[in-house]
Amino acid sequence: MSFDPAAVRRDFPLLDPARHGGRIHYLDNAATAQVPLPVLDAVRRHETASRANVHRSVHRLAEAATRAFEGARVTMARYLNAARREEIVFTSGTTAAINLVAHSYGARMKPGDEVLVSLMEHHSNIVPWQMLRDRQGIVLKAIPVTQDGRLDLDRLDELVTERTRLIAVTHASNVTGAVTDVARVVAAARAVGAEVLLDGAQMAPHGPLDVQALGVGFYACSGHKMFGPNAIGVLWGRFDLLKSMPPFLGGGEMISHVTLEKTEYARPPMRFEAGTPPIAPAIGMAAAADWLSGQDLAGAEAHMVGLAGRLIDGLGGLDRVRVVGPSGLQQRLPVVAFTVDGVHPHDVSQLLDSRGVMVRGGHHCAEPLAEALGVCGTTRAALALYNDQADVDALLDGVRQVTKIL
């Protein structure tokens, strides 16, 4: 049986046309994806049946909450194929996860040590390293991008040196959709004993991952982009790395023993989970991972590749419209950014919204990439498995109208 996006859409109350006076075309999934009923149910079940703090009290509600929270950790470990559940640190999102690594792993770096990012990074994988540079005198370098919006990995040889301690790059671009050749990055890092951090915010919504096979040291992702709640994310770190790292934030739960003079810290992951964690969001994120794992992901992938092809071809046929990023469908996510010559992306987005088509316009929190590609911004359509041909055609019709009006 072929993949049926209409059946998937039925799981998403927000996409019900009755709520909006007609069909909406939600194509802003790279910013935030919508939430299916099983996730909403899991969160509601927790909040109505077992809401309590975790790892503190011994009463039955606390017990149920702790079990559900730790169960969520096990689920996320399975989703990422972590070697052990203690490698899963719950954070507020990808940004917090990368900041954690920049602070704690970065604390071991010395002046002159090098961190290599790329021009294609989201600001959340640039700014924390600039802050580390300013704190500790590390050297921050960047892999350039090719004109079709991929990492220029041919430059790795000259950029990676004996002082490189970490290569922190995106697993897939939130603007061009280009998927990184992780094996090449890992090989370059290993040659000098460096670790690799992958920003998986865009890749994690496309199905279970295998962090062990990827061979990286850290992986960060967000719940709200993978059909889960917001304010939740995961940092996966190889246990030997997490164990060697000092804490990031201080407070309750991350301690083993406290006196006024000093504190003995808990082991990972709790060493990195100061304060009451985002309990219901974590449970929701795990429910989203389970929901995603239960989908026909091969069918969904083929479906979305077909839609992305239709979108790229359609945009390519429009006057004054240029697709920014890879022209092919290989090694890319169904994220398509484009420009309309002479029209600001926000004006494109506003006009599309008036036709029920929701996209994002702007620099997508990746200003250095926009600069490198010579654009002030782009309009971006990011497909999810509930999108269909009607969504793509509505976008194409809308852009056609934009080129006529403006």
Partner 1 sequence: MSEIYQTELLKLAGRASGAGRLDAPDASATAHNPMCGDRITMDLRLDNGTVTDLGYAVRACLVCQASASLAGEGFRGQTVAGIDALRDAVDAYLKDAGPAPEGYAVFEPVRQHLSRHTCVLLPFDAVEKAASGED
Which residue ranges make up the site for partner 1 (CB under 8 A)? 55-58, 62-63, 66-67, 70, 253, 255-257, 264, 266, 270
Which residue, 31 or 255, is less far from partner 1 as judged by CB? Answer: 255
* Min CB(218)–partner 1 separation in Å: 25
Which residue, 147 or 256, is less far from partner 1 as judged by CB? Answer: 256
Which residue, 39 or 54, is less far from partner 1 as judged by CB? Answer: 54
Phi and psi for 88 in degrees, rounded to 5? Answer: -100, 115
Given the structure tokens 């697709």, which residue do they identify? 323
Amino acid identity of 33? A
Which residue, 70 or 347, is less far from partner 1 as judged by CB? Answer: 70
Which residue, 158 or 264, is less far from partner 1 as judged by CB? Answer: 264
Which residue, 74 or 192, is less far from partner 1 as judged by CB? Answer: 74
Could you tell me the CA-to-CA distances from 151 to 40, 95, 372, 381 in Å, in that order? 37, 21, 12, 21
Structure tokens at 366: 């990746």
Residue 110 exposed, middle or buried by CB count within 10 Å (0-12, 13-18, 19+): exposed
Catalytic residues: 365
Structural contact between residues 333 and 179, judged by C-beta atoms closer than 8 angstroms: yes
* Min CB(288)–partner 1 separation in Å: 23
Amino acid identity of 46? H
Residue 138 exposed, middle or buried by CB count within 10 Å (0-12, 13-18, 19+): buried
Structural contact between residues 360 and 343, judged by C-beta atoms closer than 8 angstroms: no
* Min CB(62)–partner 1 separation in Å: 6
* Min CB(383)–partner 1 separation in Å: 40
| Nearest of 28, 25, 31 to residue 5 by alpha carbon | 25
Which residue, 11 or 87, is less far from partner 1 as judged by CB? Answer: 87
* Min CB(255)–partner 1 separation in Å: 5
